[in-house]
């Protein structure tokens, strides 16, 4: 189905995919497509996009705070040292997506991230050099025109895979590129299209080691 921007309750035109879910709308308006240059934050988003495979992003978004608590705020230095007991604990954590391959892939990707940080050029520079350091701005009018992957996402996927990253297929990588602003895929008539390159992400809360609250039933 061809879908163009939709007017929200506030009168603003938006890409259609967040619907009227307040959490999804806030993510669309303040995070998706805003350029991210922080090495650790980029690792977190790549991992979460890998966990999304086979699911909807809103499912991951609703569990994001749980993921941050479970995975030590996505600190690659800590994750790289996870052992079998930690993997078992994560497999029993109902607050996250319990997929052993993805959990073990997160550990492998943390080790690959650390190697890039130690040997250069750094994860952020590695990724952003693929687009010349600045976002590629697209002008799609409907979601039909937005690709699932591109030759560039294939290239990045192969590079990351060769470095030891897991769950970084071309489709996952392109979703990641959209989310972190390497490409601006807000529809051209969406109110964020013209401004997301100048926006700053809201300050994120660090995952506290507090007792996990029970999940709300969906």
Binding site residue list for Zn(2+): 15, 28, 186, 190
Query: How many CB atoms neighbour CB 17 within 10 A?
Result: 16
Residue with tokens 């969906």: 218
First to last CA, the chain: 27
Output the six-digit token pair for 125.
Answer: 């520079």
The two beta strands, 136-137 and 6-7, are: unpaired
Pick out the residues of the known binding site. 15, 28, 186, 190
Q: Using alpha carbons, select from 121, 107, 127, 133 the residue that is nearest to residue 47.
A: 107
d(CA 1, CA 15): 14
- Bridge-partner residues for 6, per DSSP? 14
d(CA 214, CA 85): 23
The two beta strands, 183-184 and 136-137, are: parallel
């Amino acid at each position: 189905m061809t879908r163009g921007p939709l007017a929200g309750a506030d009168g603003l035109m938006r890409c259609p995919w967040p619907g009227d879910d307040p959490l999804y709308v806030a993510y669309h308006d303040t995070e998706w497509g805003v350029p991210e240059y922080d090495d650790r934050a980029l690792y977190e988003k790549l991992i979460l996009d890998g966990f999304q495979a086979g699911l909807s992003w809103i499912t991951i978004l609703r569990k994001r705070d749980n993921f941050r608590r479970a995975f030590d705020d996505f600190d690659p230095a800590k994750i790289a040292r996870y052992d079998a007991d930690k993997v078992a604990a994560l497999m029993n954590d109902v607050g996250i997506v319990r997929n052993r391959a993805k959990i073990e892939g997160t550990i492998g990707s943390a080790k690959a991230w650390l190697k890039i940080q130690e040997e250069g050029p750094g994860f952020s520079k590695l990724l952003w050099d693929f687009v010349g350091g600045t976002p590629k701005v697209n002008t799609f009018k409907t979601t039909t025109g937005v690709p699932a992957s591109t030759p560039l996402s294939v290239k990045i996927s192969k590079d990351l895979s060769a470095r030891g990253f897991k769950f970084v297929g071309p489709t996952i990588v392109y979703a990641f590129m959209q989310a972190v602003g390497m490409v601006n895929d807000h529809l051209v008539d969406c109110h964020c299209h013209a401004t997301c390159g100048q926006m700053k992400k809201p300050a994120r809360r660090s995952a506290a080691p507090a007792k996990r609250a029970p999940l709300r039933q969906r």
